[in-house]
Chain A
Amino acid sequence: MPSTLVIGGGPAGLAAAWAAAQTGDAVTLLDDNPALGGQIWRGEIPARYRRFLDPRITVRTGVQIHSATQLPAADRIILATGTRERFLPFPGWTLPHVLGAGGLQAMVKSGLPIAGKRVVVAGAGPLLLAVGGYLRKRGAKIVLIAEQAPLQRVARFTRSLWREPGKLLQAARLGWGLRYRTDAWPLRADPGSVTIQGHGVLRCDYLACGFGLVTNTELPELLGCKVEGGAVITDSKQRTTVPHIYFAGAGSVDRSILEGQIAGFDLERARALYPARDAAVRFDRRIDETFHLRAELSNLATPDTIVCRCEDVPFSAIWQQRDWRSAKLQTRCGMGPCQGRICGPALEHLCGWPAASVRPPIFPTRLENLLDLRD
Chain B
Amino acid sequence: MTTDVLIAGAGIVGAAIAAAFREAGGKCLVVEPKIVGGGATAAGMGHVVVMDDSPAQLALTEYSRRLWDALPLPPNVEREHRGTLWVAADAEEMEEVARKHALFPSSEILDERALYEAEPELRPGLAGGLLVPGDSVLYAPCAAAWLLRLSPVRYTAIESLTEDGARLADGTMVSAGLTILACGTGITRLLPALPIKPRKGHLAITDRYPGFLRHQLVELGYLKSAHGHSNESVAFNVQPRSTGQILIGSSRQYGDESPDVRPELLARMLRRTVEYMPRLVDLQVIRAWTGFRAATPDSLPLIGPVRDRVWVAAGHEGLGITTSLGTAALLVDRLLGDTPAIAPEPYLPERFP
Contact = CB atoms under 8 A, between A and B. Distances in A.
Interface string B278-315: 00111111111100000000000000000000000000
A330 B285 contact: no
B286 A67 contact: no
A366 B270 contact: no
B35 A68 contact: no
Contact of A329 (B42, B260, B262, B280): B42
Contact of A366 (B76, B263, B284, B288): B284
A27 B160 CA distance: 57
A373 B282 contact: no
Contact of B285 (A69, A325, A367, A375): A367
A370 B36 contact: no
Given A367-B274, A367-B280, A368-B281, A359 B287 contact: yes
A236 interface: no
A23 interface: no
Interface string B24-47: 000000000011111000100000
Interface string A345-375: 0000000000000011100111110111111
B206 interface: yes
Contacts of A335: 287
A203 to B, nearest CB: 35
A360 B288 contact: yes
A367 B261 contact: no
Contacts of A366: 281-285
Contacts of B289: 359
Contacts of A163: none
A375 B142 contact: no
Contacts of B34: 325
A373 B37 CA distance: 31
Nearest to A317: B76
A322 interface: yes
Contacts of A368: 281-282
Interface residues of A, number: 27
B207 A337 contact: yes
B267 A370 contact: yes
A359 B261 CA distance: 7
A181 to B, nearest CB: 40
Contacts of B284: 337, 364-367
A326 B38 contact: yes
B267 A361 contact: no
Interface in B30-77: 34-38, 42, 76
Nearest to A334: B287
B285 A361 contact: yes
Nearest to A370: B270
Given A67-B263, A371-B281, A364 B141 contact: no
Interface in A86-123: none
Q: Is the interface of B mostly helix, strand, loop or mixed?
A: mixed
B266 A373 contact: yes
A373 B207 contact: no
B217 interface: no
Given A337-B207, A370-B270, A322 B35 contact: yes
Interface in A219-261: none
B35 A69 contact: no
Interface string A27-70: 00000000000000000000000000000000000000001110
A22 interface: no
A300 to B, nearest CB: 27
Contacts of A360: 261, 263, 288
Nearest to A327: B35
Contact of B141 (A67, A69, A329, A367): A329
Contact of A364 (B35, B207, B260, B280): B207
A233 B34 CA distance: 28
B245 to A, nearest CB: 9
A75 interface: no
A111 B330 CA distance: 66
A151 to B, nearest CB: 43
Contacts of B286: 336-337, 339, 361, 364
Contacts of B271: 371
A322 B206 CA distance: 27
A329 B261 contact: no
B264 interface: yes
A361 B35 contact: no
Nearest to B267: A373
A289 interface: no
Contacts of A322: 35, 155
A375 B262 contact: yes
B145 interface: yes
Contacts of A329: 35, 37-38, 42, 141-142
Contacts of A323: 35
Nearest to B284: A364
Contact of A330 (B141, B260, B281): B141
A360 B260 CA distance: 9
A374 B281 contact: no
A68 B266 CA distance: 13
A68 B155 CA distance: 36
Nearest to A359: B261
A325 B155 CA distance: 14
A67 B36 CA distance: 30
Contacts of B281: 366-368, 371
Nearest to B283: A367
Which residue of A329, A339, A374, A375 has the most chain B CB atoms within 10 A of its CB atom?
Answer: A329
Nearest to B281: A368
Interface of A: 67-69, 322-323, 325-326, 329-330, 335-337, 339, 359-361, 364-368, 370-375
For the complex of A and B, the 5 pairs showing the least CB-CB separation, nearest first, are: A373-B263, A368-B281, A329-B141, A375-B264, A364-B286
Given A330-B36, A337-B207, 6 more contacts: A325-B38, A329-B37, A329-B42, A361-B285, A370-B267, A370-B285
Interface of B: 34-38, 42, 76, 141-142, 145, 155, 204, 206-207, 260-264, 266-267, 270-271, 274, 280-289
11 contacts: A69-B263, A326-B38, A336-B286, A337-B207, A337-B284, A359-B261, A361-B285, A370-B263, A370-B270, A370-B288, A373-B263
